[in-house]
Structure formats: C-alpha cells, structure tokens
C-alpha cells in the first residue's frame, strides 16, 4: 500500500540579515509537524528556503560594497548563516530552495508568461506608496498614520511602469475559499482578511518593477523584473518541479500541501497565492496556517529596533532540544507570545528537569539499585493490582489519540499538554507506591516493586515516542536509558501498553536535563549576548581630541538649515548610528548619520523638521557617507546624560536658513 504523502513548508526567509528567534520558532514548529507525520509513517516532503531578490537586498549589497548574490550567499551559506542555523536546530527539511536557483528562475518566468497569456497580467503605471522593508505597495487609504500598515515604517512615493495581476478578478472565489472552507487556519485570521482586504474591494496587484534590477527578468520585457510576491510564492510549487526539469514531484501527490507562515504575511498567502494558482489552473493549498509573533518587552522583534534574540546563543547555552521544546511548549501556536530569558529557564527547570528529567532519572536509578538494571520476567502483570496502576495505564493508553487530534489541528502546544499530564501522573505514581519502602522487604514486596517500576518505564516509553518530533536527540537518549528497542519506539507502539520487553536492559545515563540556577544562568546568558554584540561591531579606533581651537569667525561660517526627515533607519552593526534621508530644500536628498539611536527610534523621527549644518565636508561612518551634522543638545537628567535633537516648527520650509 502506497504511503500517504504530506507536504509542508515554511515561508522562505528574507536574508537581509542573520535570522533571529522568530524565524527559528516558525521553522522548529514546521519541523515538529513534519517529524510527527513521518512518525505516523507518511511520506513527508518538508521545504524551507530563502527569498533573495528585491530592492532592499540590492540596496544593502551596495552599502556593503558587494554584489547582491555575494551578499545573500554570505547570509545563506556563510558561517552561522541560515543553513548553519537550521543544521544546529536539527531541522529535517528535505529540500532547501533559494529564489536565485536557476530552476526556480526558469519556472517563475514561465508562470509569469502563462498568466500574461491568459490576460491576467497587463501593463500599466503604478503610482502610490511603497514600503521598502516589506516590499509592499499601498494606497493612501491603506496607510496607518501615513505609514506602512504591516511594519509601521515610513513609505515612499513611487511611480513607475509596471505589470499588474488581475487580483480583483478572483475576489469572489477567494471570499468563498476563506469563508466556506477550512483553508485558512486558525479561523480567527479569516475575519481579518475578509474585513480588511476583501470587503473594501480587492485591487489589482503590481507584479513587476523597473526601478531596480535585482530580480528575475520578465523574459518578454527585460527592463522589468518579477516583483517579489510572484517570485517568492511560486517557490512552493517550483521546488516540486513545476515548469522545470530539476525535480519531478509536482504531479506525484505532494501538492496541494500546507504552508506555515507568520501572521504578517497571511494576506499574501491567503489572498494573492490562491489567486495566482487559480489563474494557473492549479489546486490551492490544503491549508495556510498563520502563527503569531514572539514578542520582546511587549513588542514585535525587529532588526531595525535591535531587539532580536540570537538563537545560536540560546541553543549553545541550553541545548538545542531544550530550546525546541520551549518554543513549542510555551507559546500557543497561532497566538502571540511574550519571550523572555527568564521564561526559557523556568520552563527548562519546571517541565524538563523537574517533570520529565526527574521521572527518567528516578525510575532508571531504582531499576539499577533494586534489580541490577534488569527487571524480572513476569513484571508486566501483578497479582494484586492497585487502583492507581490502572489510572496510570488508562491515561497512557489514551494519550496517542488525544495527541493526534491536537497535532492534526496545528496545536503542538496542546499535544504537549497531554503528554505532560501522563508525565506528571507518573511522578505522582512514584510517591503513591513509595518504591524505596517496598524495597525494604524484597522477599515480600519484590514482585510488586518490579511491577511498579515496569509501569513507570512503560509510561516513559509512550511519552518518549510522542516527544520525539519535539526533542529527537533527547528522546533517542531516553530510549537508550530505558532499554526500548526500535519496534517499541514506533507510532503503532505508542498506542499499546506493554510493548517494552519485561527484561529490557535499563541504564541510568547522564541527566537529560539538569536543573539550572536561574540567577547564574541569566548572568552567563547576558554576558554571552554582550560578547556577541561586541564581536559583531567593527573595530573602531578612537582618535584623540583635537587641540586646535576654532575661532568665532570660522564658526559663523556654518550654514544652519531646516531639514525635513523623509526616512530614517538603523545602521547595520552599529548600536548608535541612525541614517537619515533628508529634504534640505535643494531637490536632492541629503544623507546624514547621527549617533542618537540610544535616545530615538528611527520611525519616531520621520516627518520631523530638524536643524543641520549643511556645509561640512563629507565623512565616512561605518562605510557610509554623512553629509553634514544634526544639531542636538545634551543635558543630565537624574544622573544620566540625555540627548535631544533640536526640532523646529513643521511650518518652516525645508532649506530655510536659520543662522
């Protein structure tokens, strides 16, 4: 009988910088689901990868003085890059796609031409607002407080020739898909999509760009490159061989599959992606699941804010499986969750050290102490069973069914709840039976003691099977310690009580999850994070202060002008610098760098009118040119030095001379 096929994907990540814990969360969740379906005996295809084109990559590569391909190669293939991170996190993907792969480029050009030939893509002119970080076009009415509704950052005016996809043509079919099927999960996302995007009326989608060149060329109109979402979304089928000769799996039962994505890109996956597939005459995904964000201090992690968490440090400090478990155990999949280092350590101590680790350690130690590491034959049964024997057995026997229901409905956190009910019941079972008391009279109580310990081993075995998708390496060690053979580690064996051989060789190995000292672990983690930040900064030579005095006449030559902030962003690898794009009244944007990130977030400064000295010679900072200096004032407040930019009334025009 042919195995059931299951196809699951992460989003393809944008390699404008190293990935953080939020990307890791999504990938670990997808990996856990993929491992679960493999455990069930299904033929799984698990895809992840990187989305490597677009204006932001082109700009960052230029700033770094490398080609766009060299830039993304470093982040994807380089030391501690994307592939290294997934290897560290024990991600079991079957394929890894890069949108710069030749076969993907070939497929996307064919997909674009198919939709064009059908009349679903037409040429026009785009005029509106554009968010570079999100690679998204917006109408004026879609902006929130004049900023991008997705990321809250400034947008820029954009006008260029472009091709458009007739998204509006598919509005009714998309509405039916969302409202009348289980396509989009969790269900709470459906109302948001319908209310915010369908009810106001779907507008046709810009699907090509001419203002930059880093993308897949439209082969019949080469001055255009395929815009990011047609390029990126197509990966889910091009990686299976759709319209290319690299792979040949598209028509072999893999598609349609399940797309796991973050909630910020649900719109693209639940509206644009199915509309593209409808245009191509292909089936839409079985499900799109939009998970929530990991929040830090109540806000979304953001590279521009510098508040991201490095998964390398956490995995190296606490272990890969402990980090994987924490991500799946702590945050309800589908909702936002507040991340903290304290919560990570507390979860390791409570669930892994106290509950699971304690159960394995105590049980294997007692089998070794009282029976030399091997229980006697016949220990599976008991002449006088106690009520709590059956309670533990009944709970363990029903575990797989409850677990399966949760995993099938994208609720791995609930599945773990069910597993830990059994683990906690087993720990209580130890106290109820007091094996140490039974061991005082082995002649009278030896058979009972052996039965109690067998029940503990068996409950541990069943839980270990179902924990395997979450913590594969730790569960392998667990099975070795309790002596479970391969045939007792299967999905089928998880529903059977008594699959562990009575005389299995039991070994008290290393403690799977040692308890952590909270204060000590936090201090070590903070030191490691500080060291990592320091290592990421370029070496800076501190120059001595100048002794030459500037006379008053020279100072008076300074040209003070009002400048309006058009855009502002953090400078990569700098904790202090912000890069300003300014309107100084000349009609040409002026770039100034200022070391004020400690006191200001870049998005808070857009639209403000500041004062700048504009006739200073240009200078390089972090490899970027700064043309002038913003004027600020420094004072001491509560013993701490504070800085304030000098702002003037917004009615003062850009370029007005102020001194």
pLDDT tens, residue by residue, 7-16? 999 999 999 8
pLDDT-derived band at 130 (thresholds 50, 70, 90) equals confident
Q: What is the mean pLDDT of residues 252-270?
A: 95
Torsion (CA) 601, 605, 610, 615 in degrees, nearest 10: 70
Q: Are 468 and 39 in contact (CB under 8 A)?
A: yes
First vs last Cα of the chain: how many Å apart? 85
User: In the predicted model, is pLDDT for residue 187 greater than 80?
Assistant: yes
Residues 6 or more apart whose CB falls under 8 angstroms from that of 580 comprise 565, 567, 568, 591, 592, 593, 594, 605, 630
> Quick one: which of 29, 47, 53 has its CA closest to 96?
47
pLDDT-derived band at 27 (thresholds 50, 70, 90) equals very high
Angle CA 376–386–415, to nearest 5: 85
**Given this model, what pLDDT does residue 158 score?**
80
pLDDT-derived band at 544 (thresholds 50, 70, 90) equals very low
The Cβ of residue 535 has, within 10 Å, a number of other Cβ atoms equal to 7
In sequence order, what DSSP letters do the residues of 457-508 get, joined into one string? HHHHHHHHHHHTTT-HHHHHHHHHHHT--GGGSSTGGGG-TT-S-TT-B---
Q: Where are the beta strands (DSSP E) in 207-271?
A: 208-209, 225-226, 258-262
pLDDT-derived band at 487 (thresholds 50, 70, 90) equals very high
Strands 95-98 and 43-50: parallel
The pLDDT tens digits for 553-606 are 777 778 899 999 999 999 988 888 999 999 998 888 999 999 888 888 888 899
Angle CA 563–564–566, to nearest 5: 130
Assigned token pair, 259:
């797309």
**Given this model, what pLDDT does residue 539 score?**
43
> If phi over 0 gives left and psi between -120 and 50 gives alpha, with beta otherwise, what is residue 90?
left
Q: Where are the beta strands (DSSP E) in 540-617?
A: 560-570, 578-583, 590-594, 609-613
User: In the predicted model, is pLDDT for residue 543 greater than 50?
Assistant: no
Residues 6 or more apart whose CB falls under 8 angstroms from that of 261 comprise 10, 11, 26, 269, 288, 289, 290, 291
Question: What's the rounded Cα separation, in Å, for the pair 418 and 441?
Answer: 36
* pLDDT > 90 fraction of the chain, expressed in percent and rounded: 72
Q: Are 607 and 146 in contact (CB under 8 A)?
A: yes
Q: What is the three-class DSSP state of 252?
A: helix
Angle CA 409–412–414, to nearest 5: 90
Assigned token pair, 117:
């030939």
Q: What is the mean pLDDT of residues 514-528?
A: 92
The pLDDT tens digits for 42-68 are 999 999 999 999 988 998 899 889 999
pTM, whole model, 2 decimals?
Answer: 0.80
Question: What's the rounded Cα separation, in Å, for the pair 364 and 366?
Answer: 5
């Amino acid at each position: 009988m042919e195995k059931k096929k299951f196809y699951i994907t992460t989003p393809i990540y944008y390699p404008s910088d190293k990935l953080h814990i939020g990307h890791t969360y999504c990938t670990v969740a997808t990996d856990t689901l993929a491992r679960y379906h493999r455990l069930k005996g299904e033929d799984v295809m698990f895809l992840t990868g990187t989305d490597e084109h677009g204006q932001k990559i082109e700009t960052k590569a230029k700033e770094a003085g490398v080609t766009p391909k060299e830039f993304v190669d470093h982040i994807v293939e380089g030391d501690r890059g994307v592939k290294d991170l997934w290897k560290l996190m024990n991600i079991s993907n079957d394929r890894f796609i890069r949108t710069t792969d030749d076969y993907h480029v070939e497929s996307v050009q064919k997909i674009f031409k198919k939709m064009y030939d059908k009349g679903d893509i037409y040429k026009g002119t785009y005029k509106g607002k554009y968010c570079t970080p999100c690679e998204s076009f917006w109408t004026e009415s879609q902006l929130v407080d004049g900023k991008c509704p997705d990321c809250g950052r400034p947008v820029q005016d954009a006008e260029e020739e472009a091709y458009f996809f007739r998204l509006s043509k598919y509005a009714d079919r998309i509405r039916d898909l969302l409202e009348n099927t289980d396509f989009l999960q969790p269900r709470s996302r459906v109302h948001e999509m319908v209310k915010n995007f369908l009810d106001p009326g779907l507008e046709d989608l810009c699907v090509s760009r001419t203002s930059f060149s880093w993308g897949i060329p439209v082969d019949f109109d080469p001055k255009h490159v395929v815009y990011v979402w047609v390029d990126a979304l197509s990966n889910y089928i091009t990686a299976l061989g759709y319209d290319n000769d690299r792979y040949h799996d598209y028509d072999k039962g893999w598609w349609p599959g399940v797309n796991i994505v973050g909630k910020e890109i649900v719109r693209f996956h639940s509206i644009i992606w199915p509309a593209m597939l409808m245009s191509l005459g292909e089936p839409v995904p079985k499900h799109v699941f939009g998970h929530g964000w990991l929040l830090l201090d109540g806000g979304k992690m953001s590279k521009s804010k510098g508040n991201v968490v490095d998964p390398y440090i956490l995995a190296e400090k606490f272990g890969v499986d402990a980090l994987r478990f924490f991500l799946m155990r702590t945050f309800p999949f589908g909702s936002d969750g507040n991340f903290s280092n304290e919560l990570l350590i507390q979860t390791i101590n409570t669930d892994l050290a106290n509950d699971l680790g304690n159960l394995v350690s105590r049980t294997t130690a007692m089998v070794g102490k009282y029976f030399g590491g091997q229980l006697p034959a016949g220990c599976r049964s008991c002449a006088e069973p106690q009520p709590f024997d059956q309670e533990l057995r009944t709970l363990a026997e029903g575990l797989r069914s409850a677990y399966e229901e949760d995993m099938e409905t994208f609720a791995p956190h609930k599945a773990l709840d069910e597993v830990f009910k059994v683990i906690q019941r087993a720990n209580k079972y130890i106290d109820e039976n007091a094996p140490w008391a039974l061991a005082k009279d082995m002649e009278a109580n030896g058979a009972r003691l052996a039965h109690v310990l067998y029940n503990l081993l068996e409950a541990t075995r069943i839980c270990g099977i179902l924990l395997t998708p979450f913590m594969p390496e730790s569960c392998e060690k667990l099975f070795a310690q309790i002596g479970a053979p391969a045939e007792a580690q299967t999905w089928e064996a998880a529903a059977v009580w008594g699959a562990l051989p009575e005389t299995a060789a039991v070994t008290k190995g290393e403690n799977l999850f040692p308890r952590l000292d909270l204060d000590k672990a936090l201090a070590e983690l903070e030191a490691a994070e500080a060291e990592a930040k320091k290592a990421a900064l370029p070496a800076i030579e501190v120059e001595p202060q100048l002794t030459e005095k500037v006379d008053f006449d020279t100072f008076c030559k300074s040209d003070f002008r009002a400048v309006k902030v058009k855009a502002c962003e953090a400078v990569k690898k700098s904790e202090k610098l912000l890069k300003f794009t300014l309107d100084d009244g000349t009609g040409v944007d002026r770039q100034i760098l200022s070391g004020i990130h400690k006191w200001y977030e870049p998005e808070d400064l857009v639209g403000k009118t500041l004062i700048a000295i504009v006739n200073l010679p240009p200078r390089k900072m972090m490899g970027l040119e700064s043309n002038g200096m913003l004027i600020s004032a420094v004072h001491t407040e509560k013993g701490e030095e504070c800085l304030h930019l000098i702002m003037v009334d917004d009615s003062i025009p850009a370029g007005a001379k102020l001194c």
